[in-house]
Structure 1
Amino acid sequence: MRALFVALAALIFCRSVTAAAVELVIVYPQVREPFARVFEEIVRGAEDGYGQKVQRVALAENQSPVDFVHVLDRQSPVLVLGNRLARQVSKQNLQHKVIVGAVNGEFNGVYGISLTPSFESISSKLRFLVPSVRKVHVIAKPGTTAGDFDLGVGNSPVQESEGLHGFSLIIHEAEDIRTAATVYRNLMQTLDKDDALWILPRGSFVNNAMLSILLQESWEKRFVVFSSNPVHVKRGALFSVYPNNYKMGLSLGHLAQTIADDQPFSEGQEIVREMQLLSDVFVTLNERTSNHLGINLTDDMREHIDLVLPAR
């Protein structure tokens, strides 16, 4: 810890004697592989996106980012990566320009990009692959609204909100994995080829047993299952949409640059301290499932897919 603050003091001193552009400070956790590689890709993207001097600070599990951020120049944007560090920072009423990334949930009073894909990024892929789908179903925690998916409408427990590309997003609430199992079983009785089921980043209360049941039912009834977990594609989900770590970092760097310059996102619009949904995604598709659903993967379609798991 002492070494960390010595390095910080040197950093502040260098800023005071130079007229360089405002630095971006990136704070991220020290973790083992393969997670360290994920953070490295995000940090590298953020450095390229910011385009100016960047200071990296890796914190051990017993180190808090709060004391570190407190002594920084308030003009310096601070990018905090990971759920643990972001949670610690967001609980404080900091006046600094804090940006969070690589996080699963919403954090108040900070800028940032979550790991939940926007419904726009999902629906554009789905419309391209399966234009027959009309309704997209999600199982989510109580209080989830269509606004959480960047639709800006709806606030009822079980909502049907008109989304992008002609889809309706239907949100079904579940308290825990037990109540979710009941919701899934009831829902599977009504789904057909016009429906799709989206498994959210945190799994939507789907364990291995329930996933097997969902995929078996989808195979027999020909409704679409897609996921935010690429592992589910290997199991038989049609496709997965998940973070492109480098491009997500690039977007975080661009966001930090906008905030550092105090520039609004559009003319006449102030910069609001709020989270954005993920738009930088990879797409992996299961060719066996697509063949079963009668999807003809043209060369044009394949250009929009990052990885195709071949049919065996």
Structure 2
Amino acid sequence: MDGLFDTIRRSKTLIVGLLSFALLMVASSSTADNINGGFVHKVAFRTGESSIAVIYPDIGEPYRTVFAQIIDGIKAKTQIVDYAVGSTVDIDALNNSLRQQNIKVVIALGRQGLKIASNLDSNIGVVAGGVIAVPENERRNLPVNSLSPDPALLFSRLKGLMPAARRIFTVYDPRQNSWLIPIAKDAALAQGLELVAYQAQDVRSAVRFYQDIFAAADSNQDALWLLQDSTTVEDGSVLPLVLQESWNRTLAVFSSNFGHVRRGVLFSLYPDNTELGRHLAAMALTFLASGDYGEHGMILLREVLTAVNLRTAKHLELNIGPQQDFDLVFPEQ
């Protein structure tokens, strides 16, 4: 019976992980499918004047379930009105609806949600989430909750799995991740690590830097960090090369992308969608209470779960097991 319960628990955790991966995929896209050409909304429950709305893309599965999990987390903290929006929205009609509902702050999910929220009345506060990164000119000094895991959490997990780690390599496209690298370097330094980051704006340059890294790395104390970066961690050619070469050289590789763990990286951190919703709700409530969000700019993901590849850990001769604090284990047990 215990085995049956363990199987059920692992299956549910895997589903959560795959849905979180789906969220990363939709977050990297700037558009959403047009389901209804406008918006639909429903009052989840609300009383009084502390009105919060959630705007999210009206798209199909599995993304719909991901946003539903985030919204469940928001509902656990506060009253909301939620709006599912297509790719074409009548902003005037939406503004009128928000006024009628006495909305003071909007939680915008996904690039589509943020794009629409940026065109709302200026007296409505906006808390954004469910995106990887947003160009500075689109943020409007708003709090944007990124789906990029906080490097401090990633590096702490690395140290827990590989205490001898001293140096981390990464390759990034500055057009996508220039905002993240200074934060990551500070986080590494705080944990006694050195982050060596190489800029690459095309696949050819990225491959060359990876080859340099493999030639210079000491597998006893070095590790490679893969970012959410469509240039430097391109799925078709770059990722297979990195995975094969790191395996051959027994070099630890960890990633900000959950999908890479199944393919062989040591571990990743991925969104806990319900807890992310709770965090977004707390920011919206802070704005309602004080007129300030508490945080501004890009906010790194701290509501995370951990996925680990035990086959890779065994290959690296790391002393870990499924009984440790992991939310998802590959290969599936």
Shorter-chain TM-score tier: 0.7 to 0.9
**Residue identity opposite 2:164 in structure 1:** S
Q: How far apart in 1 are the matches of 2:211 and 2:64?
A: 38
CA deviation map 1:65-124 (0-9, x unaligned): 686257745871100101123134347793421011100113512123111111111111
- The counterpart of 1:186, out of the listed 196, 199, 212, is 212
Specify the alignment match of 2:226 in structure 1: 199
Q: How far apart in 2 are the matches of 1:143 and 1:91?
A: 25
Residues 128 and 68 of structure 1: CA distance in aligned 2, closer, same or farther (over 3 Å): same
Q: How far apart in 2 are the matches of 1:249 and 1:235?
A: 28
Specify the alignment match of 1:289 in structure 2: 312
Give secondary structure in 1 for the equivalent of 2:174.
Answer: coil
What TM-score comes out, normalization by structure 1 length?
0.80
Written as runs of structure 1 = structure 2, the 5 A alignment for 1:1-312 is: 20-48=48-76, 51-63=77-89, 68-69=94-95, 72=98, 76-90=104-118, 94-106=122-134, 107-109=138-140, 110-142=142-174, 148=180, 151=183, 162-193=188-219, 194-203=221-230, 204-262=232-290, 271-298=294-321, 302-310=323-331
CA deviation map 1:252-299 (0-9, x unaligned): 11111111111767xxxxx35323100111211111110111111157
Task: Compute the displacement of 1:34 (Å).
Answer: 0.7
- Cα RMSD (Å): 3.3
Q: How far apart in 2 are the matches of 1:2 and 1:84?
A: 13
Give secondary structure in 2 for the equivalent of 1:257.
Answer: helix
Residues 90 and 280 of structure 1: CA distance in aligned 2, closer, same or farther (over 3 Å): same
What TM-score comes out, normalization by structure 2 length?
0.75
User: 5+ unaligned residues in a row in structure 2: which ranges?
Assistant: 1-35
- Matched pairs, number: 289
Residues 172 and 94 of structure 1: CA distance in aligned 2, closer, same or farther (over 3 Å): farther
Q: How far apart in 2 are the matches of 1:165 and 1:197?
A: 16
Q: How far apart in 2 are the matches of 1:247 and 1:175?
A: 34
Contact 1:140 1:173 in 2 (8 A): yes
Q: How far apart in 2 are the matches of 1:104 and 1:309?
A: 24
Give secondary structure in 2 for the equivalent of 1:208.
Answer: coil
Contact 1:172 1:183 in 2 (8 A): yes
Residues 310 and 153 of structure 1: CA distance in aligned 2, closer, same or farther (over 3 Å): closer
Q: How far apart in 1 are the matches of 2:183 and 2:316?
A: 28
Q: How far apart in 2 are the matches of 1:238 and 1:77?
A: 40
- Of residues 178-187 and 99-108 in structure 1, the stretch that sits farther from structure 2 once superposed is 178-187
**Residue identity opposite 1:62 in structure 2:** T
Task: Compute the displacement of 1:2 (Å).
Answer: 11
Contact 1:146 1:169 in 2 (8 A): no
CA deviation map 1:171-202 (0-9, x unaligned): 21111223222222222221221221111123
Contact 2:39 2:89 in 1 (8 A): no
- Of residues 206-215 and 62-71 in structure 1, the stretch that sits farther from structure 2 once superposed is 62-71
Contact 1:77 1:98 in 2 (8 A): yes
Residues 278 and 61 of structure 1: CA distance in aligned 2, closer, same or farther (over 3 Å): same
Task: Compute the displacement of 1:233 (Å).
Answer: 1.4
Q: How far apart in 2 are the matches of 1:196 and 1:252?
A: 32
Give secondary structure in 2 for the equivalent of 1:163.
Answer: helix
Contact 2:74 2:281 in 1 (8 A): yes
Task: Compute the displacement of 1:22 (Å).
Answer: 0.7
Task: Compute the displacement of 1:169 (Å).
Answer: 2.1
Q: How far apart in 2 are the matches of 1:127 and 1:198?
A: 13
Q: How far apart in 2 are the matches of 1:229 and 1:174?
A: 19
Contact 1:192 1:221 in 2 (8 A): no
Q: How far apart in 2 are the matches of 1:197 and 1:93?
A: 45
Residues 224 and 23 of structure 1: CA distance in aligned 2, closer, same or farther (over 3 Å): same
Give secondary structure in 1 for the equivalent of 2:326.
Answer: coil
